[in-house]
Amino acid sequence: MTKVFIPCDSAALSVGADSVAATFAAIAQASSLDVTIIRTGSRGMYWLEPLVEIETTSGRVGYTNVDARALTPSVVADMVSASDLPNSIGLVDSFPWLAKQQRVTFARVGVIDPLSIEDYEFFGGLVGLRNSLQETGVGVVEMITESGLRGRGGAGFPAGVKWRGVLQTQADQKYICCNADEGDSGTFADRMLMEGDPFTLIEGMTIAGTAVGATKGYIYIRSEYPHAISTMTRAIDVARSHGVLGESVLGSGKSFDLEVRAGAGSYVCGEETAMLESIEGKRGMVRPKPPIPAVVGLFGKPTVINNVMTLAAVPMIMAQGPAAYQALGHERSRGTQVFQLAGNIAQGGIVETAFGITLGELVDEFGGGTRSGRPVKTVQIGGPLGAYLDHNSWDVPMAYESLAAAGGMLGHGGVVVFDDTVNMAQQARFAMEFCAEESCGKCTPCRIGSTRGVEVIDRIMAGVDQSKNLVLLEDLCEVMADGSLCAMGGLTPLPVRSALKLFPADFGVNGGTR
């Protein structure tokens, strides 16, 4: 029997993976070929999807951009026998784009059946959880601290310090909340992991919960991710029936359980305190800090809030020890980062590698430049609240501090590429417009500043009182940056200011033409 792997990742589905799987199965059956089709996550080489892999004795062989309409009995037979075809890339693991990466968090994504806990264990799953259950809570928190793991949601706060805060706070109930409200444009790592290897997240959350004394966890997933919600929900059921979740986690006597909560189309609910409000069923209004959620969090109880990528890194740290993770990285950014190449890019997808890779390497070497073939004009890193950068930043190592020093923000690691047809005044205007659309409305700089920002940029673009309006825009940006309650209003000036600084001509400023 030959195993055939076809992704069920929603992005792969968006280019026809489901019909490939159905057609392949039908032809294989009609031709009496002895095959089993296994649906996996995606390898994250999206420009090659749908990517079909065939198991051979030397590894999995890949066929790219498979089109269901082009599948004939002879093509299917050739694929099953791993014959050379124009679209074959040989052994997938040796494919240079993949082989150059260091897949740690994403080691199993695209390889295993996401809902098979047997596959998960076979590929090293649950080792970290078993190890952590042998440790005290203090011991686990120490190991996470030693690993140097920092929050992958954007702020980069040390995960161990956050956990210690919750561990040390006395309460009758504590919670773990996973922020899976991955709303930044250009980011999709959380979605891919939840669709492709959900047990990793479950394991990471269970380690966190049993360590700090939380018995309940919530995964808040945005409603724009219906497939992730479905896979995650089913994976929790599987984990529960295998004793990974429940009254006694793997027979340890420690209790931990999980629940998925869906968002409802609000970007600001990715802000941690707005997310807590939303899980509680309220409007997603940002809470002032302090008190921090580690002390007063969900339902007023001490709560660990981490991003999907942070929690998904935990099982590996607990399995292989903090030193292995600490050994990777750049300066104070330890471990690997899952970069996401998006927008106008020839080879878009997931690049997991140690911190410190340069922006140029990501965009040119991995990304292969623009999809349109035109020159790259700018990239936006870190979502709608991230700065626009140009070629002058090509040599900047991708890490929290070095990127911040270059005026950028790593955020969730999304890199959106634009070619030279983009108008940066339009992008700056969109940043303000998006803030106006998604502001929770609690604080004035964000709620009103964003609307005024759109108007001011419109006047600048129209050439009305330009020098005065430029001063006004800068003043407005300063008020928003310094006076907003959270990053929504506080960071919106980042794309606006960087666009204006790098590309004044697009605004019709400095004698430039639009």
Q: Which of 256, 434, 503, 507 binds another protein (CB under 8 A)?
A: 434
Name which of residues 361 to 380 contact another protein (CB under 8 A): 371-372, 380
Show the tokens assigned to 295.
């002390």
Check residue 438 for interaction with another protein (CB under 8 A). Answer: yes
Q: Which of 110, 114, 151, 186 binds another protein (CB under 8 A)?
A: 186
Q: Which of 73, 85, 118, 282 binds another protein (CB under 8 A)?
A: 282
Check residue 418 for interaction with another protein (CB under 8 A). Answer: yes
Helix (H) or strand (E) holding 509: none
- Select 132 or 278, whichever has its Cβ closest to another protein: 278
Q: Give min distance, CB of 231 to another protein, in A.
A: 13
Check residue 106 for interaction with another protein (CB under 8 A). Answer: no
Q: Which of 80, 309, 316, 417 binds another protein (CB under 8 A)?
A: 417
Residue with tokens 């108007």: 455
Check residue 197 for interaction with another protein (CB under 8 A). Answer: no
Check residue 393 for interaction with another protein (CB under 8 A). Answer: no
In order, the DSSP letters of 16-61 are: THHHHHHHHHHHHHHTT--EEEEEE---SBGGGPSPEEEEETTEEE
Helix, strand, or coil (residue 62): strand
Residue 175 contacts residue 214 (beta carbons within 8 Å): yes
Name the nearest CA neighbour of 167 among 295, 72, 51, 69.
295
Helix, strand, or coil (residue 379): strand
Check residue 47 for interaction with another protein (CB under 8 A). Answer: yes
C-alpha distance across the termini of the chain, in Å: 62
Burial of 67 (0-12, 13-18, 19+ CB in 10 A): middle
How many residues of this chain bind another protein (CB under 8 A)? 63
Check residue 182 for interaction with another protein (CB under 8 A). Answer: yes
Binding track, positions 218-247, relative to another protein; x by CB under 8 A: -----xxxxxx-------------------
Burial of 253 (0-12, 13-18, 19+ CB in 10 A): exposed
Name which of residues 49 to 68 contact another protein (CB under 8 A): 49
Q: Give min distance, CB of 383 to another protein, in A.
A: 8
Q: Give min distance, CB of 251 to another protein, in A.
A: 29
What are the distances in angstroms from CA 60 to CA 5, 35, 53? 9, 14, 6
Name the nearest CA neighbour of 153 among 340, 407, 382.
382
Q: Give min distance, CB of 258 to another protein, in A.
A: 14
- Select 44 or 322, whichever has its Cβ closest to another protein: 44
Check residue 266 for interaction with another protein (CB under 8 A). Answer: yes
Helix, strand, or coil (residue 499): helix
In order, the DSSP letters of 327-343 are: TSEETTEESEEEEEEEE
Check residue 427 for interaction with another protein (CB under 8 A). Answer: yes
Q: Which of 73, 139, 243, 265 binds another protein (CB under 8 A)?
A: 265
Check residue 96 for interaction with another protein (CB under 8 A). Answer: no
- Select 19 or 116, whichever has its Cβ closest to another protein: 19
E strand intervals along 206-362:
216-221, 257-262, 303-307, 329-330, 333-334, 336-343, 349-354
Check residue 297 for interaction with another protein (CB under 8 A). Answer: no
Show the tokens assigned to 423.
């108008």
Binding site for another protein (CB under 8 A): 10-11, 13-15, 46-47, 49, 182-188, 190-192, 223-228, 261-267, 278-284, 340-345, 348-349, 371-372, 380, 383-384, 414, 416-419, 422, 427, 430, 434, 437-438, 440
